Amino acid sequence: MYKNVIFDLGGVMVDFSPKDFLLERFCNSSTEDKVYRLTFGSETWKKLDAGLCSRYEGNQAMLAAAQAEHCGFEVQEVLENWTSILRLRRRMVELVRRLKNHGYCVYYLSNIPEDTLALLMSRGLEGLFDGGVASCEVHINKPDPRIYKELLKKYQLVASECIFIDDSRANVQTAFQLGMNSIQMKDSVDTLVRSLATCNVTLR
């Protein structure tokens, strides 16, 4: 019997489509690929998620790398505007509330820097969950199994009683290997609700 549902934040609770964002900005596949590599896909971005550098330090490192590849202007624009893509998914918020009303505990497990987590909380996630673990707090990013274990330990959860929802296949696979039932979110909230129903999680 499942008692807990664990949600990723970016790409699940909020929109997070950096490649679409870059496509709208540049309309040039070569530029998009380069800017993605220097920002969202960079090792520096992973360090930001893991809380291993400050936002200022991270931005400076990404800008320096971009300037060396003659695209400092493009990367500067991305760093100044990328948070606009973090739009709250109201139907997901409604789903979390319905789960709580049906007696489930709900948590988040997210790769996210401290400032971005604070931003999302201010945009409507504050008080929604029963708890959670952010990568910036424990200095570990998914899909490293240790961050999942941190969540289980912190709230004394049993893996077999948890359903984990993430848009990343690698993250879902790790959760499954640790004994959780795992759902990769690909499409709509309706599809997710149907997937939950197959786990005997009904919200009627």
Strands across the sheet containing 162-166? 131-134, 105-110, 4-7, 162-166, 181-184
- Residue 28 lies in domain: 18-85
**Residues 96, 77 share a domain:** no
**Residues 100, 157 share a domain:** yes
Per DSSP, what are the bridge partners of residue 163?
A: 5, 181
CB of 26 closer than 8 Å to CB of 77 = no
**Residues 79, 123 share a domain:** no
pLDDT for the residue 187: 75
**Residues 97, 35 share a domain:** no
The structure's pTM equals 0.95
**Residues 101, 169 share a domain:** yes
pLDDT for the residue 204: 72
Residue by residue, pLDDT tens for the chain (204 residues) are: 899 999 999 999 999 999 999 999 998 999 999 999 999 999 999 999 999 999 999 999 999 999 999 999 999 999 999 999 999 999 999 999 999 999 999 999 999 999 999 999 999 999 999 999 999 999 999 999 999 999 999 999 999 999 999 999 999 999 999 999 999 998 789 999 999 999 999 887
User: Any idea what the CATH number is for the domain that residue 192 is in?
Assistant: 3.40.50.1000
Which residues, including other chains, have CB under 8 Å from residue 85's CB and lie 6 or more apart?
15, 16, 17, 18, 20, 21
pLDDT for the residue 9: 98
**Residues 71, 23 share a domain:** yes
Q: Which amino acid is at 163?
A: I
pLDDT for the residue 136: 98
Q: How many CB atoms lie within 10 A of CB 36?
A: 17
CB of 165 closer than 8 Å to CB of 5 = yes
pLDDT for the residue 188: 86
